[in-house]
Amino acid sequence: MRIAIVGSGGVGGYFGGRLAAAGVDVAFVARGAHLEAMRARGLRITSPKGDLHLPRVIAESDPAAIGPVDIVFFAVKLYDTDSALALLPPLIRPDTIVIGFQNGVETVETLTRAVGAEHTAGGVSYVSAVIAEPGVIRHTAMDHLLFGKPDGSRSPQLEALLEACRPAGFQSTLSADITVEIWTKFVRLSVFSGMTAVTRAPIGVIVNDPELLEMLKAAVRETLAVAHAKGVAVAGTIDEDVATAYKGLPPQAKASMLEDLERGRRIELPWLSGAVARIGREVGVPTPIHAFIATVLRPYVNGTLG
């Protein structure tokens, strides 16, 4: 099996690195200093599960140098989606599957328009990982990949990917209802990202403050109401489930949006709390907490003020 990682940051770099270490043929599409570091020194992963160093990895800026593959992980930041879509054609042959491992809830539609339904699958990643420095991925918590065709079918390529993931040291699931999984992740992540970013604090600060914890659960209920209004059957108990799950995370865990905010980088706010507020307006669901988060963080959408 050949896998191409388009977007070699926290998600693509971490899971791609674990798969490569397990012997899978993985090629990374990257750019800038991160690309040069991987070419010169390989890829390092620091993790509570044990550090990993791949001294040699395939890393290219031009996907034509990689050629057609079985699976593409589409894991770029949401604001880079349009430019990254242009990288896909050289990687695709008639049976290639492109899996969208992005935040938000609109990636499947975007990929379907770009490469066709026959090449598109949905994906969900639960992981706290960022580029700590060029060529180095810092993993803090969680590592679970879910993927599946929107129609629930079990394609041979996705079955093969599931088998390739088993020895790679992370949890993997081939889902029969990836749409519900995507929205469930969106309910969780929109709140995790929004609350840690707006407070400038890791999750431990939030779950240990009763008022902030109640605000977090209320924000979960807002996104849940939006999902239900869209006809997506996300479990109704998710507010308590999320609170319990976040209490179990390492207290220093941060969303990647907070990591980006702290580094003065662009943030995915329009596709997270901003999207909750936008879709909420479309379906007639009030979302005051997400609207507040989207409003107060808007000056930082394109990076540090100034």
- CATH, residue 135: 3.40.50.720
| End-of-domain residue from the set 176, 199, 221 | 176
Mean pLDDT of 21-26: 98
* Per-position DSSP letters for 173-214, written without gaps between them: EE-S-HHHHHHHHHHHHHHHHHHHHHHT--HHHHHTSHHHHH
At residue 239, the pLDDT reads: 87
147 and 247 in a single domain? The answer is no
What is the residue-averaged pLDDT of the chain?
95
**At 248, phi and psi to the nearest 5?**
-85, -5
pTM of the model: 0.90
136 and 30 in a single domain? The answer is yes
Rounded Cα–Cα distance for residues 15 and 28 (Å)? 11
51 and 167 in a single domain? The answer is yes
Residue 306: inside a domain = no
| End-of-domain residue from the set 116, 150, 176 | 176
204 and 265 in a single domain? The answer is yes
Give me the residues paired with residue 6 across strands.
29, 74
| pLDDT tens per residue, range 99-134 | 999 999 999 999 999 999 999 999 999 998 989 999
98 and 162 in a single domain? The answer is yes
119 and 6 in a single domain? The answer is yes
Mean pLDDT of 45-64: 97
Query: How far apart, in Å, are the Cα atoms of 87 and each of 5, 20, 96, 267, 279?
Result: 11, 21, 14, 22, 29
Q: Alpha-carbon dihedral of residues 76, 78, 81, 84, nearest 10 degrees?
A: -20
| pLDDT tens per residue, range 31-49 | 999 999 999 999 999 999 9
205 and 261 in a single domain? The answer is yes
| pLDDT tens per residue, range 168-214 | 999 999 999 999 999 999 999 999 999 999 999 999 999 999 999 99
160 and 206 in a single domain? The answer is no
Residue 131: inside a domain = yes
Pairing of strands 97-100, 120-133: parallel
How sure is the predictor about 306, in pLDDT bands with cuts at 50, 70 and 90? Answer: very low
Give the whole-number percent of the chain exceeding pLDDT 90: 90
Pairing of strands 43-46, 136-148: parallel
157 and 246 in a single domain? The answer is no
Mean pLDDT of 60-86: 97
Q: Which residues have a Cβ under 8 Å from the Cβ of 221 and sit 6 or more positions away? A: 239
Give the range of the structural domain holding residue 37, as residue numbers without chain letter. 2-176
How sure is the predictor about 158, in pLDDT bands with cuts at 50, 70 and 90? Answer: very high
Residue 305: inside a domain = no
Domain of 220, CATH number, reads 1.10.1040.10
Give the whole-number percent of the chain exceeding pLDDT 70: 99
141 and 16 in a single domain? The answer is yes
For residue 303, the Cα-to-chain-centroid distance in whole angstroms is 20
Q: Work out how many domains the chain is built from and give that number.
A: 2
**At 76, phi and psi to the nearest 5?**
-80, 160
| pLDDT tens per residue, range 76-108 | 999 999 999 999 999 999 999 999 999 999 999
